Structure 1
Amino acid sequence: MNESDARATVAEFSAAGYDGEAYGSKYVLYYTCDAFRAQNNEALELAKALANELELPLVVLAHVDLRLFQRASKRHVYFVLEGIAEFEEALLEQGIGACVRIDPAQDVGGLSVLGDETESVVGFCCKAWAVVTDRPHQRLKIETLARVASEAGCPVIDVETHLLVPFEEMFQECVRDRAVFEERFLELCPEYAKLLVHQEVAITASEELMDEVDRYGLVFDFMRESDDDETWGAPDWLSNLGVLDQILEMSRVNTDVPKAPGQYGGGEKSARNLLSIFIARKLKGYARACQLNDENNRGE
């Protein structure tokens, strides 16, 4: 997304006689604000491959920008945090450092990613060799990522993680007819809808590195002042809904809408369960339709 050179590593800076700890890159960063899944995630797998090739650890920033939720509600934020909690757990099991940041709504996005000297926020980009992220398709996300690419100071690589077939491939020509759309979609699907091979990270993020990146991004004052002196993950936010309400209200996010009722919340497991139910019901309907069709044919 940009033409920035990769940020030299700590070892490379040190070999050249510079202060590697101060200027060198220490990890590959996967920055995501909506693809909170550890399976079938093209951007995450690319970030792993890049980190392994460079012999660097991988750090993941799960970012909740409340600028994106001002027309939504607490219900949506709660749903997202449920998904992030599951995402965090899956990443940590793989030895991947996972950090969660909630940024208040501002005129521009990307506070925790880029940082802001006036607010004493150090961005996660500052020690990244490169940033891998999800290709955005909504206006606010496109604006934020354009800013990140412009100011990151290292390569920013966007990867399609949302669509089966990329827009630019699907709509090389104007498609007005449904039949033409279906024909082109089915023609392109085999090329893109392939089984994604899961990789392991070669280097686990050290406790020392995670202590360092734990200070990056927006860290609320109440976290700094706590006895634990730790930033919150998604489970912490979900366990402190009163505090979450205060943060949401500051960003003019509606807090009157409660959590959605029912057994299915956010996260990959719930999504897979719902998809299984949906497919099973559709297959039953298909079977009934075929059976009815056979009966009609026999009647004729």
Structure 2
Amino acid sequence: MPYSPADTAFLRNSALRTLNTEQAAINGLKAKLDAHFDRACELILACQGRVVVTGMGKSGHIGGKLAATLASTGTPAFFVHPGEASHGDLGMITRADVVLALSNSGETGEVTALLPLLKRLGIPLVSMTGRPDSTLARHADAHLDSGVEREACPLDLAPTSSTTAALALGDALAVALLEARGFTAEQFALSHPGGSLGKRLLLRVQDIMHSGERLPQVALGSPLRDALLEMTRQGLGFTCVVAPDGQLAGVYTDGDLRRTLDQHQNVLRLTVDEVMTRPGRRITPDVLAAEAVRIMEDSKITALAVVDPQGRPVGALHMHDLLASGVI
């Protein structure tokens, strides 16, 4: 039935049917993971060149995204349009590469036209199609079955469920390769240096900590008054308490001050080591700033002392610094 403005549930019900159909398509992929998936991973892991992804139309759009995902997760890859490949861009493909070709039908002319040259050069071919008996699937060294029962399109024509399944299967391939390579967050950051993602992955404590004259610190045994003055002067909500050998003995924080006022009547007679927190949460300068966020959140604190390998305070880090730097 056509849409009527009076039918307020029409649009939402349509959306729900689409989501349910595409969810079923993704769930159906689980039973199709077989030795071909393993073989595809092995071919790509052994590749000395790059993964060349190709596909036409909607499959090409999915292929472009998959190439980008592979490239950013440790598998060098790029996308080649199959139509352009037949008119000169095949020169971009070398014997050291692996080709990953996407076609829901497995019969796309622009893609199957590449088969003779790939075979002649001995370039491994991984196909992703919805038809295991298709031309592309039969000539591939490994075939990834992305077939779906039906498209989410009510006409069963527009690529919807099939492209969603191909996208999900491509992500599964990329993540399997990532884990097989032991790919790390730091390696991921090297290809994502810009924006908040790059900051979160690349920024280290030493890049944003307060050091030198901005490091709040008092000597062990100092009057509590001196610690309070130092906290006020630096404005970080805490101060390091340093032992005679230069090591961090503990910290005195705003929270410690509230507890001191609650438990002691004459705070001016106290020394800082009587009421400080021992040994105090600490971190080293080379640790990623994102790890500092985790420590603060887990410990429910807003500041950290930064110490060198010998345990001597060299900096101070506040949650506000992490916010200002874009890590959070």
**TM-score for both structures, normalised by structure 2:** 0.25
Which has the higher Rg, Structure 1 or Structure 2?
2
TM-score by length of 1: 0.27
Higher RCO structure (Cα 8 Å, ≥6 apart) = 1
